[in-house]
Amino acid sequence: MTRVVLKVGGRVAAAAAADAGGLHAAGHEVVVVHGAGPQITAEMERRGVPVEFVDGRRVTTPAGLDIVRSSLLAVQAEVCQAIGRLARPLAGDVIGLRATPVTRLGLVGQAMPCAPQAILDVLAARRIPVVLPLASGPLNVNADEAAAALAVGLGAARIVFASDVPGVVVDGTVATELPAAHAAGLLREGAFEGGIVPKLMAAIGSARHGIRTEIGATTVTA
């Protein structure tokens, strides 16, 4: 039995539920971590709350954190409904997801590897934990970083970043394989911007821990 972390973006959350069900049916232990980026941004704009990102991370005020939580809960409900009876919703800040505060960004944290008992209990019951990425504090945690931290902490064999992009584009082409050292170099050179930055940083970290790491059609290797 292989333990797999499936990170799904807010735009593809419900569609990715089929992936979770398929992996579970094949006998794998599956942990789903989801984002809600588009939903959070839309609600912030609707309420007149400033939207600001630094290196792909959302600057989060107390008012912003309330929107983050409500948006994540809405997406979580959507994902759980799509997965069906196997899904078990879990809030990261409730189950003890750990993070180091990144105070320059407000109520934001850098996720730390951990293995919350609540996730282990759901897996032991042959169910699928669906985790929203808030950390104890509470702190807003980038969903890609949260997924990678949980993959390391839980000893996952594989992490899959499912999104609406086909993979990591290097020199105009989707790379089928991307060594972590090369990816880190490209990040230092400023070759990427936006949400792919924290996603790729998270992927580099999980790959270097020996976890099979996939971003769409791209496998990030150690």
CATH of the domain at 136: 3.40.1160.10
Is residue 195 in some structural domain?
Answer: no
Q: Which domain holds residue 18?
A: 3-163
How many helices and strands, by DSSP H and E, does the chain display?
8, 16
Query: Minimal CA–CA distance to 78: which of 173, 8, 175?
Result: 8
Domain assignment of residue 190, yes or no: no
Q: Report the 10 Å Cβ neighbour count for 15.
A: 14
95 touches 119 (CB < 8 A): yes
How many Å apart are CA 160 and CA 156, to the nearest integer?
11
Contact by Cβ (8 Å): 101, 109 = yes
pLDDT reported for residue 53: 92
Q: Is residue 175 part of a domain?
A: no
In a domain, 219, yes or no: no
Q: How far apart, in whole angstroms, are the C-alpha atoms of residue 186 and residue 43?
A: 33
Integer angstrom CA distances of residue 156 from 15, 87, 162, 179, 218:
22, 19, 16, 20, 18
pLDDT score for 42: 96
- Give phi and psi for 59, each to the nearest 5: -65, 130
How many folded domains does the chain comprise?
A: 1
Length in residues, the chain: 222
Domain for residue 33, yes or no?
Answer: yes
- Tens of pLDDT along the chain (222 residues)? 799 999 998 777 777 777 899 999 999 999 999 999 999 999 999 999 999 998 888 999 999 999 999 999 999 999 999 899 999 999 999 999 999 999 999 999 999 999 999 999 999 999 999 999 999 999 999 999 999 999 999 999 999 998 878 899 998 899 999 999 999 999 999 999 888 888 999 999 999 999 999 999 999 999
pLDDT at residue number 219? 96
**Do residues 187 and 145 lie in contact, with contact meaning Cβ atoms separated by under 8 Å?**
no
The radius of gyration of the chain from alpha carbons, rounded to an integer in Å, stands at 16
Instruction: Give the pLDDT score at 126.
Output: 96
Is there a domain that residue 172 lies in? Answer: no
Record the tokens describing residue 160, joined without a space: 């899959």
Q: How far is 42 from 40, CA to CA, in rounded Å?
A: 6
Is 221 within the bounds of a domain? no
SS3 state of residue 114: coil
pLDDT at 110: 95
What's the confidence (pLDDT) of residue 15? 76
Q: Is residue 197 part of a domain?
A: no
Q: 144 with 161: CB under 8 angstroms? A: yes
pLDDT of residue 195: 83
What pLDDT is recorded for position 13?
Answer: 72
